[in-house]
Amino acid sequence: MKHSKIVANVKPRLGYLLLLVCAAAILLPSAAVADDHSPNMTIYYSLNDPTSGRTHSDLAFWGNIAVAGNYDGFQVINTDTHQVIANYLCRGPQNDVSLWEHNGQLLLFQSVDTPQRNGEQVCSQNRGSDTTACGPVKSRNLVCFEGIRIFDLTDPTNPVYIKSVYTDCGSHTHTLVPDPANNRLLIYVSSYPGSSGPRCRSPFRKFSIIGVPLDAPQTSRVISQPTLIGGVPGCHDMTAFLAIHKMAAMCATEGQLWDITDPAHPDTAHPLEIDDPGVNYWHSAEFTWDGQYVVTDDESFTGTCQPDGDGKIRIWRVSDGHLMSSFMIPRPQGGIYCSVHNGNIIPIAGRYILVAAWYGGGTSVVDFTDPSAPTEIGYYVATTGRRADTWSSYWYNGKIYANDISRGQDVFNLDIQGDIQTWGHLNPQTQEDLSARPSLFSPLAQLALNTRGG
């Protein structure tokens, strides 16, 4: 299988951390070195956490609340006051997060993909809580835990742990899919073989769907485990675009687009399969807000750092999976790990603009309004204190929020003009019908719509 050497070894972002030990001298340049950035990007504020030893992961937003995941738990940030208002320790790599509010109750969901001793009942503050020998899973009497944790974040200064849901092979990442017809939230849990979990043996080739009753989240449970086709071992990330009933599933060895018109029963048996032999690892994806294109992100493990190498974004037409172009940022990333990671697309009228994290390449802004000719129009690589090693970068209501593996949070200003829509919340892997007004369709996409008659 094309990528079996990766799938059979370690989980990508966990494996990457081993490289940090060898790269410490590179990641800690002199404080006298100025940050490298384009004129149109500046630091707004930083909440750096360089001495904790934490590994920072993904981000989610609800109103003026941002939650930044890390391998030891999560931080809750007030984006108006620029303050950390809660630092909740709850070990469970990699602790990717998402948020959802219902009837005044704000729920936080957290992915755990490294087995934790007693993790179903308690939140350990001890980094030594990880275990690689869980033993068998016996009904509800779990020897160890991995899967989804659920918290009540209604009082953001006082998170309350209310429920855990065990999932086979844990939860590397997850995607929220609202199911309002049934007054519930569905969680698509991405996981794949290669970890130490007791139900994580190859071939895995499935994922879990958790049903979260919105009026009783404490009764959440796994409701199904759809199978995957095409020889993929499992999925690393999934991005839903609810307005067009599509899921972009990035499944390690290839990308797939599924019909999720019935969200509890996604059509995984008839995917539109997209593939390119130049991709090293299918990691994540972002749809344009008109639904015409999808950007896929290749997490590279080769370290080639070449324009014609892997680790690039690729732009595909959603209707038929046609590859429009690929793109690598035009500067070195330190020679250690050359790869795009997590990002989203700014909802700006008449243009396609991607914001994304590129590890040692910092945060990049790429204009692909012409999908055949993407170009970088802004970037920021922090070097003061500790060099950027950026996990996630997302645009949210006028700012770019970056969660950096070792630095913590950096927030950037981007000087860009246009009709840009604002949001009430953002779970980056759940694209809702947030930018459906026709003025936000790009000229090229609108022409395509008109040509097809719809």
pLDDT band at 232 (very low <50, low <70, confident <90, very high): very high
Instruction: Determine the pLDDT at residue 199.
Output: 76
Question: Mean pLDDT across the stretch 187-210?
Answer: 84
Beta bridge partners of 405: none
Give me the number of domains the chain comprises: 1
pLDDT band at 7 (very low <50, low <70, confident <90, very high): very low
- 137 CA to centre of own chain: 28
Tell whether the model's pLDDT for residue 289 goes beyond 90. yes
Sheet of strand 430-431, all strands in order from the earlier edge strand to the far edge = 267-274, 255-259, 246-250, 237-241, 430-431
* DSSP H stretches of helix in 101-198: none
- The pTM of the full predicted model, rounded to 2 decimals, is 0.88
Cα–Cα distance between 39 and 18 in angstroms, integer?
A: 34
176 Cβ neighbours under 8 A, 6+ residues apart:
98, 100, 109, 185, 186, 187, 240, 427, 429, 430
C-alpha closest to that of 51 among 409, 404, 406, 390: 406
Cα–Cα distance between 195 and 252 in angstroms, integer?
A: 14
pLDDT band at 148 (very low <50, low <70, confident <90, very high): very high
Cα–Cα distance between 208 and 165 in angstroms, integer?
A: 11
Instruction: Determine the pLDDT at residue 338.
Output: 79
Q: What is the CATH number of the domain that holds 80?
A: 2.130.10.10
Instruction: Determine the pLDDT at residue 434.
Output: 57
Instruction: Determine the pLDDT at residue 303.
Output: 67
Give 51-103 pLDDT, tens digit per residue. Answer: 788 999 999 999 999 999 999 999 999 999 999 999 999 999 999 999 999 99
Question: Mean pLDDT across the stretch 243-258?
Answer: 96
Instruction: Determine the pLDDT at residue 447.
Output: 41
64 Cβ neighbours under 8 A, 6+ residues apart:
78, 79, 80
Cis peptide before 94 (omega within 30 of 0): yes
Instruction: Determine the pLDDT at residue 34.
Output: 86
**HSE-CB for 199 with a 13 A CA cutoff:** 22
User: What does the DSSP 8-state code read for residue 439?
Assistant: G
C-alpha closest to that of 74 among 51, 50, 100, 98: 98
Cis peptide before 203 (omega within 30 of 0): yes
C-alpha closest to that of 129 among 115, 140, 143: 115
The 8 Å CB, 24+ separation contacts for 155-163 are: 156/65, 156/76, 156/78, 156/85, 156/86, 156/106, 157/76, 157/85, 157/86, 158/86, 159/74, 159/76, 159/86, 159/88, 159/108, 161/90, 161/123, 162/217, 162/218, 163/217, 163/218, 163/220
28 with 58: CB under 8 angstroms?
Answer: no
C-alpha closest to that of 227 among 196, 249, 246: 249
Structure tokens at 402: 């970056």
Q: Which secondary-structure segment (H or E) carries 294?
A: strand 293-298
Question: Mean pLDDT across the stretch 307-328?
Answer: 92
Domain of residue 99, residue span: 4-452
pLDDT band at 8 (very low <50, low <70, confident <90, very high): very low
Give 339-381 pLDDT, tens digit per residue. Answer: 899 999 999 988 999 999 999 999 999 999 999 999 999 999 9
Cα–Cα distance between 26 and 29 in angstroms, integer?
A: 6
12 with 18: CB under 8 angstroms?
Answer: no
